[in-house]
Amino acid sequence: MPVEADAERWATQLATAHQVELASITWAAGAGGIARMTDTGAQLVLAHEILVDDATMRFHVAHEIGHVVLGHARSRRQQLRSAAPYLVAGGAVELATIVSAAFWRWSIALLPIVFVATLAVIARRVVLPRERQADSFAAANGAPAWLARPPATGRGPLAKLIKTHPTWAERSTCG
């Protein structure tokens, strides 16, 4: 069973191979990981759950490094700036729903349904392709998803409704 040092060594090796400056690697609860950019370089937050075996650890680390190399990892301010058009579009859809509900006397209960549907469409158009690209990056760097174990924790009902990540079966076909 790998330890944190193994994951950090693999992350450093991959980052160096792709000319990426790693600022820090931290560990947190949860599944998978998060990659974001800071002024000093890439910051990885990895979950202890990825340490179940070597292939799982390598896939998750390579996946997060893939987000950095492919330009998906951004600072929080850049993330908000890039999300702004989608937030405006979602707000416009909600406003149109409110006006339509008032004009045609629809139930106000329609608003959360439209909100979730709008989020689902945005997630499929924006987030899901980036996740698939990061999976392909991991596979191209010797860490395909089909060798890794699926996460032990299940996804919640909202995460199943708003699909932001490929299913484990879909991940296994990337690369």
Average pLDDT of the segment spanning 44-68: 93
Among positive and negative, which fits the CA dihedral 164, 165, 169, 170?
A: positive
CA 22, CA 11: separation in Å to the nearest integer? 8
Judge whether residue 6 has pLDDT over 80.
yes
Question: b or e along 68-80 (b: 16 or more beta carbons within 10 Å of the residue's beta carbon)?
Answer: bbeebbbeeeeee
> What are the boundaries of each domain within the chain?
2-75+124-172
State the pTM of this model.
0.80
In this structure, what DSSP letter does residue 124 have? I
Q: Cα(42)–Cα(21) distance, rounded to whole angstroms?
A: 6
Residue bearing the bigger pLDDT, 39 or 152:
39
The reported pLDDT for the residue numbered 5 is 96
Check whether 152 has a pLDDT greater than 70.
no
Is the confidence at residue 161, as pLDDT, over 90?
no
CA dihedral 120, 154, 22, 173 (to 10 degrees): -70
**Distance separating alpha carbons of residues 26 and 10, to the nearest angstrom:** 14
CATH of domain 2-75+124-172: 3.30.2010
pLDDT in tens, 79-91: 667 778 888 888 8
pLDDT value, residue 175: 56
Write the pLDDT tens digit of every residue in 108-150: 778 888 888 888 888 888 888 888 999 999 999 999 988 888 7
